[in-house]
Structure formats: C-alpha cells, structure tokens
Amino acid sequence: MATKDDIRAVFADPQLDGMDRLYDAIGAMLLDQADFERAYSLVIAAGDAPATTWIRFCVQCAKRFEDPPKESEFLAVLEEFCRKHVGLD
C-alpha cells in the first residue's frame, strides 16, 4: 500500500500541466471557508479544465503506483497541496 509520502511524491512531480488551476479552484473555496469535500465536489461537478486535469492526473497516477493508495489518503494529499497552494498551510 502506498504511503502518504509516496502519494506526496507523485503530487510533487505530476508531469501534467494544469495542476495549479486545480489547486486554485479548490483552494479559492477553501479560502472562503468551504470544507474540502464540498470544494472538491463542486470543482469536479463543474466538469471544466480543473476537473479534466484531475481525471487525467488520476489516470496517470494509476500507472505510477504498484499498489494504489486508498482514495481517502489520495484526497487528503490533494487537500494538503490545495491548502499550501493558496497559503493556508
């Protein structure tokens, strides 16, 4: 099973353009006091560039893990990166 450090390493080297827009989209809602789950759901439901970037990133990541991480751990690292991106952590 992938550790959080393994997941962080993949996020730190995504090899995919558009991750900043994803972090911005979720992070902006976090700045407005939305909880992560709601912000994430709204960005994905919108279906625009940040959502498609996330889908492409997840597909790419499936190839980078021998044993895929739990979804909750993967999303926890996404939240960390979004918070850092907008200066919340």
What does the DSSP assignment read for 11-41?
HHS---TTHHHHHHHHHHHHHTT--HHHHHH
pLDDT at position 19, please? 96
Per-residue model confidence as pLDDT tens digits over 13-67? 988 999 999 999 999 999 999 999 999 999 999 999 999 999 999 999 888 888 8
pLDDT at 85 over 90: yes
Q: Which of 18, 45, 17, 15 is nearest to 29 (CA)?
A: 45
Weakest mean pLDDT among 14-18, 45-49, 73-77, 81-85: 14-18
Written as six digits, the tokens of 58 are 């997840």
| Per-residue DSSP letter, 64 | T
